[in-house]
């Protein structure tokens, strides 16, 4: 609802500010409206406040009621249902309404050759792809699996990377408990 | 139009835009700017479109997404703005376009246009700073998306005011808008309708459209 917050509310604030801070010497800068339009409170024109408030209320009510009525009427006309189907929503509006993709490389793998929507639900398709296969750069896949790309190059410096999926303190603590119980630790640190 | 994000169909939205521009935008524009409009006669001060453009679009988006229904929870597990660079680019394009929008509303290359541009920039700058600081309070991070949100809310607030108010008032305007709009984004979790990033789509989709219907182009 940021359209409402930023446009509706901010527009109201701007209109209210006209009542307080409008000044005839700013209005008259165009050389036409000199002395014709009175300012707001700065010019001691205190009734401007309720004029502005009346206008805000009227515009707000009219815009909301008329738009809601219009939307409801259009929604009611056959073939002009406002909302897309649930499948379309799953696949995304790009796929359903346009058939072109602006962000094909993010998150979802699509069937590039098929123009028509794939039949599987995205969640199923997604689960079939290994997390490490989604990155074009080999090192990134390694990092997901908890390997350090630096260590591979022989630059091990003691602060070895434990992978972005793990919490290394948690893993270390877990390993200690496992060692106590005579089990090998997750990272194979037990001797 | 960002209200359609991730769940609305395209063609009904186009039909809606056409009807909306005729039946919602134009009457409100007439109220404040037509010599015979009640707002004009009543003495309403609306410089470049706080009523028709900003309140109109904001409340209409709210109404549209209420009819549309919220996004499905299960598909939002991984929800986040998907490309911060594009958000930033969109915001900067908006800022630039807004100078024409607010400056052009003076109907001439005069000092009032200069003042309107300067007021818009001031409100945008202080709006974005305020929003960033408020977001820092929660996340301890300097959010670029927060900067963009604050910037746009500042520009929005400057729309009805930039040709009327003094520069020092614009500074206050930016700060107040940043605070108010930031806290009212929290209301969306109460309304349970939909989520952020509507703004981003909104900026990129509706705004060129809106400009055409605005007073400038």
DSSP for B101-152? Answer: HHHHTTSSSSHHHHHHHHHHHHHHHHHHHHHHHHHHHHHSS--HHHHHHHHH
- From residue A14, alpha-carbon distances to A92, A169, B60, B83, B213 in Å are 37, 52, 18, 30, 20
Residue in chain B nearest A103 by alpha carbon: B82
A62 in contact with B, Cβ within 8 Å: yes
pLDDT of B82 > 60? The answer is yes
Beta bridge partners of B139: none
Residues of chain B contacting residue A41, judged by C-beta atoms under 8 Å apart:
none
The C-alpha of B213 sits at a distance from chain A's nearest C-alpha, in angstroms, of 16
Kindly give the parts of chain A with pLDDT less than 50: 1, 114, 126, 151-163, 188-191
* pLDDT tens-place string over residues B39-67: 888 888 888 888 888 888 888 888 888 88
- The answer to the question of residue A28 being in a domain is yes
Q: Global pTM? A: 0.68
pLDDT at residue B108 in the model: 84
Considering Cα of B36, then B39, then B43, then B46, what sign does the dihedral take? negative
Q: Which of B164, B170, B180, B186 to mutate to test the interface with A (most CBs of A within 10 A)?
A: B164
State which residues form the domain around A51: 2-76
Contact A56, A16 (CB under 8 A): yes
User: Is residue B71 scored above 60 in pLDDT?
Assistant: yes
CB A32, CB B58: distance < 8 Å: no
Contact between chains at B3 and A3 (C-beta distance less than 8 A): yes
CA distance B49 to B211: 11
Which whole number is the average pLDDT over B56-80?
74
Please name the member of B45, B173, B199 whose beta carbon is closest to the beta carbon of A3: B199
User: From B63, which residue of chain A is nearest by alpha-carbon distance?
Assistant: A68
Q: Check residue A109 and give its pLDDT.
A: 52
**pLDDT band with cut points at 50, 70 and 90 for residue B196:** very low
pLDDT at B151: 93
Our measurement of the distance from residue B49's CA atom to the centroid of its chain's CA atoms, rounded to an integer in Å, reads 11
Is residue A38 a part of any domain in this protein? Answer: yes
Assess whether pLDDT exceeds 90 at residue B116. Answer: yes
SS3 A83: strand
Contact between A55 and B156 using a beta-carbon 8 Å cutoff: no
Q: Per-residue pLDDT tens for B87-105? A: 899 999 999 999 998 988 8
Residue A155 resides in a domain: no
Look at residue A159 and tell me if it is in a domain: no
Residue B24: both structure tokens together: 């919602």
| Residue A30 resides in a domain | yes
CA–CA separation, A18 and A57 (whole Å) = 15
Query: Does A64 touch chain B if contact means CB atoms closer than 8 Å?
Result: yes
Question: ipTM > 0.85?
Answer: no
Would residue A72 count as lying in a domain?
yes
Report the 10 Å Cβ neighbour count for A39. 24
Query: Which of A82-86, A114-118, B175-179, B197-201 has the largest mean confidence?
Result: B175-179
Residue A67: which of B64, B108, B149 has the nearest Cβ? B64
How far is the alpha carbon of A3 from chain B, nearest alpha carbon, in Å?
5
Task: Please tell me the distance from the alpha carbon of residue B85 to that of residue A94, in angstroms, as a whole number.
Answer: 20
Per-residue pLDDT, B204 = 35
**Chain B CB contacts of A40 below 8 Å:** 45, 164-165
Which pLDDT band, with edges at 50, 70 and 90, does B215 fall under? very low
Domain B2-213 has CATH 1.10.3430.10: yes
Classify residue B69 as left (phi > 0), alpha (psi -120 to 50) or beta. Answer: left
- A29 lies in some domain: yes
Q: Point out the residue among B47, B108, B153 whose CB comes nearest to the CB of A6.
A: B153
Supply the pLDDT for residue A154.
46
Question: Does residue A81 fall inside a structural domain?
Answer: no
Checking if the pLDDT of B162 tops 70, the result is yes
């Amino acid at each position: 609802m940021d359209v409402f917050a930023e446009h509706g509310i901010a527009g109201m604030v701007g209109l209210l500010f006209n009542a307080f801070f409008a000044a005839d010497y700013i209005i008259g800068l165009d050389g036409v409206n000199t002395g014709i339009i009175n300012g707001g409170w700065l010019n001691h024109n205190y009734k401007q406040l309720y004029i502005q408030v009346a206008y805000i209320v009227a515009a707000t009510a009219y815009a909301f009621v008329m738009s809601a009525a219009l939307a409801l009427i259009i929604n009611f006309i056959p073939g002009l249902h406002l909302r897309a189907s649930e499948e379309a929503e799953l696949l995304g509006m790009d796929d359903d309404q346009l058939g072109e993709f602006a962000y094909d490389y993010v998150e979802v793998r699509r069937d590039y050759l098929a123009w028509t929507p794939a039949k599987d639900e995205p969640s199923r398709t997604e689960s079939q792809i290994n997390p490490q296969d989604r990155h074009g750069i080999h090192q990134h896949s390694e990092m997901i699996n908890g390997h350090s790309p630096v260590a591979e190059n022989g630059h091990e410096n003691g602060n070895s990377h434990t992978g972005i999926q793990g919490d290394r303190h948690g893993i270390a603590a877990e390993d200690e408990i496992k060692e106590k119980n005579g089990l090998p630790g997750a990272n194979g640190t037990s001797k | 139009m960002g209200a359609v994000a991730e769940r609305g169909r395209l063609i009904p939205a186009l039909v809606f835009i056409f009807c909306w521009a005729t039946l919602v935008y134009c009457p409100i524009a007439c109220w404040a700017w037509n010599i015979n409009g009640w707002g004009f006669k009543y003495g309403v001060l609306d410089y470049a479109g706080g009523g028709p453009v900003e309140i109109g679009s904001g409340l209409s988006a709210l109404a549209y997404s209420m009819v549309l229904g919220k996004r499905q929870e299960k598909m939002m597990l991984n929800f986040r703005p998907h490309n911060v660079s594009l958000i930033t680019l969109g915001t900067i394009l908006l800022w630039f376009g807004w100078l024409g929008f607010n400056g052009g509303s003076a109907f001439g290359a005069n000092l009032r246009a200069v003042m309107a541009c300067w007021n818009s920039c001031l409100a945008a700058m202080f709006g974005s700073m305020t929003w960033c600081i408020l977001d820092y309070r929660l996340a301890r991070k300097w959010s670029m998306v927060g900067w963009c949100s604050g910037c746009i809310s500042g520009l929005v607030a400057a729309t009805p005011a930039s040709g009327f108010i003094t520069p020092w008032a614009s500074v206050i305007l930016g700060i107040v808008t940043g605070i108010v709009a930031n806290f009212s984004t929290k209301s969306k979790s109460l309304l349970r309708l939909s989520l952020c990033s509507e703004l981003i789509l909104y900026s990129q989709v509706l705004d060129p459209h809106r400009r055409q219907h605005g007073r400038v182009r």
